[in-house]
Structure 1
Amino acid sequence: MRIVRFLLDGQSSYGLLTGNEIEALAGNPMNGISKTGRKQLIGDSRLLAPVQPSKVVCIGMNYSQHAAELGLDLPEEPTVFLKAPSAIVGPGASIVVPKQTKRVELEVELVVVIGKEARRVRKDEADDYIFGYTIANDVTARDLQFEDQQWARSKSFDSFCPIGPWIETDWQPQNQRLESRVDGSVRQADTIDRMIHSVPEIVAYVSENMTLLPGDVILTGTPAGISEIRSGELVECQIDGLGTLLNQVS
């Protein structure tokens, strides 16, 4: 299934996307799919971020070449940090460059969407706790990341976590290509199988350290090629089978 969140009569609603048509759902699809029969074309709809998580969990340096370009050693265990949920915006929303920074960069990432409460999950049962997958751009104020010597502020400005365009529930991470582009120029390109820590490892590790709730998301790391983005540019983050997340920089 392809699950979206969109505006319906001025209110946010979940929907089931089939072809170019969205059918509104009653309630949260993580509690079960209940169709309302109300439909509208995706071209006539404003898509929102497909999740409203209690927390945005991120994994740093999960591609070896990305760690190398930052001059950082590879960690033995997953590097976990958080972004503020208030940083989330949806497809088509603007990425706003704040006045506090002189360098903002893009980071395309595969996103795991948690479907039910997960605490101390074993690696071999991780799939049972995953609702689906989507795409994120882990936008980062790179200068502030190193000035602050921790990552909270640099990662959590409003609009610094575009997510979307939808959640795919019948998709499994294998060797799919992920790519970012700025005004059509490719900046990052790699395949998911080159992640250091796999999705089951990440879900198990994070759930050992904090309880994951339905709707929580885990950003699984970005490949090499992080690049500066500037006002007026169009940023595209794409993963095979999950679509393309587009956001303008302002």
Structure 2
Amino acid sequence: MSSAILLVWHGSRDRRPHLAVSQLTTLVTRELSAIAPSSVTGNTLVLPLSPPIDSAALELASMPLEDSIVEFAQKAKAAGLKRVKICPLFLLSGIHVSEDIPDRVAKARSRLKGEIELELIPHLGSLGEMVKLLNAAFARIPAQNRILLAHGSRREYANQKIEEIAVKLNAIPAYWHVLPDLERQISHLVTGEQKTIAIQPYFLFTGGITDAIAQEIQRLQSKFPRTDLRLGQPLGATPELARLIRDWIDLCC
């Protein structure tokens, strides 16, 4: 693979997502090393080397994203590589994916003046395999009904993808940032009989929003005492997610 890999995530003031991104980067590096080709020099087997890989944040970082891209690209060029693949670790195709990241990449590309190629690949949430990952997450919290809880976007096309995924999961969508929200969707499912509802957060990492979701679940559990609300965990820095990212990068190579 003649490409270096830069994983771009949102950024946070919370240290937990920073640690999770670091752990995920390590896991992805191992996965890419496992599929890198070996070579033989004389009678010596040269073990496969993974491509250079790092992460950078769009917001709340020590330097602007375009600076991080340029710095990483220059290191990749010095290592003899010809291309940097920029991989957005975003689940929704909202303004960050459709406008902000392409703008930062364009600024970095202009500064690099063609010294190395920058290739921006489709965001993580565009992968069809995400449904399998979410279905496995729902399987860990079995219930009669399912709600897929995403951040949500004011841009309808971004939420449409969530609705399509929810249908494949036999779930209904709810959004933290826009309507229909979690309370409205739970009210829609609740009837006079006792029910169980699995709520799977469609978020990558634990952070401030997932903490707030857990608190909201406690409030809603009191409001709907005959309903058992079962909250799942964010996708997290897991080997399963790392393998999905590996396949995503490999597919775009």
The answer, yes or no, to whether TM exceeds 0.5 is: no
Greater relative contact order structure (CA < 8 Å, 6+ sep): 1
Q: Which has the larger radius of gyration?
A: 2
TM-score, structure 1 as length reference = 0.24
Quick check: which one's strand share is greater?
1
TM-score, structure 2 as length reference = 0.24
